[in-house]
Structure 1
Amino acid sequence: MAETRVGGARIRYDDVGQGGPALLFIPGWCTSREVFRKLVPWSSMLHRALVVDLPGHGESQQPGPDFDNTTVVDTLRAVIDASGARQVVPVALSHGGWWALELRRQLGSRIPALVLLDWLVLEPPPPFLQAVQALQSSQWRQARDGLFSLWLQGVGSPDVVRFVRDDMGSFGEDMWKRGGREIEKVYTRYGSPLEALATLSPPVPTLHLYAQPEDNAWLEAQRSFASSHPWFQVQKLPARSHFPLLELPEEMAVRIGRFLDSTLGTHPAGLPSPPT
């Protein structure tokens, strides 16, 4: 385990594997780096992997009584600098994608590609916006529990159930309210992640891997965007939850590896068996 300090707060991250560009694994709000525990052993066979705990999450300290998206981006930049990595590909879960996008905006060619995992990349539907608003209210616990029920509906994976209930469920009122506030802020500003990605100049090769929802219209809308924005790719995984990295880590690692090889010429596709 490695660490750096940002504003006096200790930020911890794992630094494993070798090979460039390094992969920067970014959790979302109210999620620790534990969510990547099954994916990183596969991905780190071909690439150096930096797996960070966000400020106030997991083993990282909180920099003050409150912080925002800017604080998180500054923290991720500090981890990149402390690691000495010349180029980094963010592998961002859910709304961690907003920070990945901002890293590309700030660091340019040092961020040669983006990998987004199970993110609401289209314009958010009204029920989603209502949920993130409810997270900021006195009804935050009911809103959180409603999200948990939605995410776990029909899911039989013990790893997913345990992660949602024990890891995400360990965060309290302040962090859930903060997450709701910061998520609403960026959707209000940009409209959708795809709209935000389209503003980057030059564009950045981007892969979106997701499993849910099953609605084919969701996939077709992304394919339509990809047809007019060839730097964007979308692939749907055969998993039952919003956490395919816990259900299909090997397949996800292979797809990430193939994407990086085809866009950046990194390594031949294919992974050996992971160490036990």
Structure 2
Amino acid sequence: MLSMDLRGHGESEQGDGDFTSDTVVDDALVLVQASGARQVVPVALSHAGWFAVELRRRLGERVPGLVLLDWLVLEPPRAFLEALKGIQSSAWKGSRDEFFRMWLEGVDSEEVIRFVREDMGSFGAEMWHRSGWEIANAYAQQTYPLRALSALVPPVPVMHLYAQPADPAYEMAQQSFAADHPWFQGVRLDARSHFPTLEVPEVVVEHLERFLAGLGAGERVSPPPPLPSP
């Protein structure tokens, strides 16, 4: 397993000057090359999904599948795009705090709460401005994730594990898309937060293992039945 420490995060330095999504993808390609891995299956949280899609474009069949976690895969609502503008402004903290509120709504996991308020809360204006710009730019250029995934030729198996939003219409839209695109599966987890890997890690691992086993067998597997909350 490869774990990437993004620029400006964790123990990684930012490097000289600013950086963009393209820089991060280039870093990921260097990591894959240095690891000697013949194949990689990106597991990407939220808008890091754009990096995963680009890795498939660049590496082709060396990326036999994609796992996306809690991503806004449909067309973004106007309120979301306005929030992205907000975190690029001088009043960025208010928009950031609104994201925090949404991500933590109904959440009682101390680990998730600490991660959002302390870890994500430690980033300053520069990182939030960059995040808002890069995410907004990705949607402007590629419209929305399911459309970008549909444009990959040949198609690649994709599993989307998510908890937010809990709106049944969001789940139904993904089911409808999957009916016409058998390479895609959307699985709503029994979780509440935007960070299922922290909230229900065992459930996420089980889904990952089944998905990877299906890739090894050369076929798409059905998602497992919902598991009880830990």
- TM-score w.r.t. the length of structure 1 is 0.78
Which residue of the partner structure matches residue 208 of structure 1?
Answer: 160
Gaps of 5+ in 1: 1-48, 267-276
Counterpart of 1:80 in structure 2: which amino acid? Answer: V
Q: How do 1:121-270 and structure 2 match up within 5 A?
A: 121-265=73-217
- In 1, Cα distance between the equivalents of 2:105 and 2:166? 13
Quote the RMSD (CA, aligned, Å).
Answer: 1.3
- In 2, Cα distance between the equivalents of 1:193 and 1:64? 31
Shift of 1:64: 2.3
How many correspondences in the alignment?
219
User: Identity across aligned pairs (percent)?
Assistant: 58
Which residue of the partner structure matches residue 30 of structure 2?
Answer: 78
Deviation above 6 Å: which 4+ runs of structure 1?
Answer: none
Counterpart secondary structure, 2:95: helix
Greater strand percent: which structure? 1
Counterpart secondary structure, 1:207: strand
Counterpart secondary structure, 2:42: strand
Which residue of the partner structure matches residue 226 of structure 2?
Answer: none
Counterpart secondary structure, 2:48: helix
Q: How do 1:8-87 and structure 2 match up within 5 A?
A: 49-87=1-39
Greater helix percent: which structure? 2
Shift of 1:82: 1.1
Does residue 98 (structure 1) correspond to residue 59 (structure 2)? The answer is no
- TM-score w.r.t. the length of structure 2 is 0.93
Structure 2 contact 105–192 (Cα < 8 Å) conserved: no
